[in-house]
Amino acid sequence: MAGCGAPDEPPLVIAGKDRGALRLSATGRKAARLGLGPGLTLADAWARVPDLDVVEADPGADDRLLLRLAAACERYSPSVALDPPHGLVLDVTGCGHLFGGETALCARLGGDLKRAGVGARWAVAGTPDAARALARFGKSGIIAPGTDESAVRPLSIAALDAPPDTLLALRRAGLKTIGDLAGRPSAILSARFGEALAAKLRRTLGRETAPLTPLRPPPPVRVERHFPEPFLHMEQMESVLAGLIEAAACILEERGEGGRVFEASFFRSDGEARRVAVETGRPTRDAGAVLRLYRERFETLADPVDPGFGFDGIRLGVAACAPLGAAQVSLDGRAVEAAGLDGLVDRLVARLGRERVLRFAARDTHLPEAAFAMRPAADAAPEAIAWTQPPPDDPPARPVRIFDPPQRIEQVAALVPDGPPRRFRWRRVTHDVVRVEGPERIAPEWWRAGTDGVTRDYYRVEDSHGRRFWIFRAGIYRETADPGWFLHGLFA
């Protein structure tokens, strides 16, 4: 990522605060030729080269760029790992043939990075550590399988990424290249410098390999297609996606599984990548249903999928799978009904979002505002508490509509202070109460932490027009001098 300016421009250095001083964190090519390197304080650099173009370091922006590049690289391999501060490791095992061989893959990747304005060094080798050492300290290129050791041997021991004092000690002992170290017995090395160095050496030589920790674990089922020519139209994109979903459904069927989370990645020809995921309530491999979910999702994306200069690759990964047997329909068709409702929930969730498709759940409390909960219907249903029903032949005890928070009512007239109201005013209209039932006294739940309310006396009242209200007095006269009245709900 070294910038190279025009010949007459001053050398570029990037400086940031490090160990109490402004130090160079990276330098341009021209600055490097003048002998400036990372770690030098800015004051020293100025002393050597007075005319410097200094840019403040922004590690956050570096990280973001690296993440974006990693996302763009996912088109070449599903398993991309970060190698901070500015490296990426791709596991391209079995990926080469999709692009016409590893050479072609590397050429395309190099072209992509160049277009993105990034100068990169790369190497392909048998283990991540060997490739990393070659990319940073050797020549870019592809190492033939099995020849890692001979390729790595001439490299400087700096490629082992060991602490500076270890490197210094090794150099003092006359061990300058990896090849010098490789000849020594491993036991002596680990006794003197620790097991970590010996292990790193073995991995760099390709004698053993360490597993990669990818940015995103590769999905268990994935299908993808790449195109020599990018295409621009959403319709084409949809038809490709439909084909991929069907292919994924076939794989899922063989595995006896269904997908819960589908992730489609759209790779643009200019190196950008966009991921769109849909979720289903229960495992599915119904290609039509998944495609419908995607259509809903595309329609409602706040930031639409932009083809830009065209897409040249699409990958569909099934990020979460669950066992799903062959479809079985019971005689009365009930299984079909349940599946129909789940499908509807999935479609509505894809269109409106999880928090807008809800189910009610009863809660075990007397407080009216806490007596029920609304949960996303896409979540698994927890154990249900039964809803209470009034005794037979009693009218509804709870209103069909509830206000949250309760609405204040004014000019409440009651015959006796603690008695039911005879008249009240709500939303600028006066209501004369002709029928009343109550009070139903609901006290705050002192046994729960954090409850500090007042006792409420609820009344079910009906006005002269036949409208029924649920109103309460907050507090009894013993507790407060001037209790307020509130309307909490409306009865049918």
Partner 1 sequence: MDRSTRIKTLAALRTQLAGLDGRPVAGAGVRVALGAPAIDATLDGGLARGAVHEIYAARPADAAAAAGFTVGLAIRAAGEKPIVWVRQDFLDHEAGRVHPPGLADLGLDPGRVLLVRAKDIAALLRASGEALRCAALGAVLMEPWGVSPLLDLTTSRRLGLAAEESGVPALLLRVAADPAPSAAATRWRAAAAPSAPLEAGAPGHPAFDITLERRRGGAAGETWAVEWNRELGVFRERPALSGAVVSLPAGRPHRAGAPDGGLRRAG
Rounded distance between C-alpha atoms, residue 52 and residue 385, angstroms: 72
Q: 136 vs 398, which CB is nearer to partner 1?
A: 398
Alpha-carbon distance of 190 to 27, in angstroms, equals 35
**Least distance to partner 1, CB of residue 74, Å:** 33
Q: Rounded to the nearest whole angstrom, what is the least distance from the CB of residue 370 to partner 1 in the complex?
A: 11
Q: Least distance (Å) from partner 1 to the CB of residue 440?
A: 11
Query: Least Å distance between CB 285 and partner 1?
Result: 20
Identify which of residues 320 and 433 has a Cβ nearer to partner 1 in the complex. 433
CB nearer partner 1, residue 39 or residue 340 = 340
Q: Give least dist CB 242 to partner 1, A.
A: 20
Q: Give the Cβ contact number of residue 175 at 10 Å.
A: 18
b (16+ CB within 10 A) / e for 271-306? bbbbeeebbbbbbbbbbebbbbbbbbbbeeeeeebe
For residues 280 and 293, the answer to whether their CB atoms sit within 8 Å is yes
In the complex, the smallest distance separating the C-beta of residue 470 from partner 1, rounded to whole angstroms, is: 9
Structural Rg of the chain based on CA atoms: 35
Query: What angle is formed at CA 126 by the lines to CA 121 and CA 132, rounded to 5 degrees?
Result: 30
Q: Which is nearer to partner 1, 33 or 467 (CB)?
A: 467
What would the 3-class secondary structure string for 319-356 be? EEEEECCCCCCCCCCHHHHHHHHHHHHHHHHHHHCHHH
What separation in angstroms does the CA of 198 have from each of 67, 171, 182, 192?
31, 16, 9, 10
Closest CB 457 distance from partner 1, rounded Å: 15
What residue ranges bind partner 1 (CB under 8 A)? 336-341, 343-345, 347-348, 351-352, 356-362, 368, 371-372, 374, 377, 384, 387-390, 392-393, 395-404, 426-429, 431, 434-437, 460-462, 464-468, 489-492
Name which of 90, 99, 52, 55 is nearest 71 in CA terms: 90
Q: Which residue's CB is nearer to partner 1, number 248 or number 345?
A: 345
When the beta carbons of 76 and 426 are compared against partner 1, the nearer one is: 426
Q: How far is the CB of 405 from partner 1 (least distance, A)?
A: 10
Q: Using the Cα atoms of residue 133, residue 138, residue 144 and residue 146 in order, give the sign of their dihedral.
A: negative
Q: Which is nearer to partner 1, 326 or 492 (CB)?
A: 492
DSSP 24: E
| Ordered alpha helix ranges (H), 116-163 | 128-137, 148-152
CB closer to partner 1, 48 vs 467: 467
User: Is the alpha carbon torsion for 324, 330, 336, 339 positive or negative?
Assistant: negative
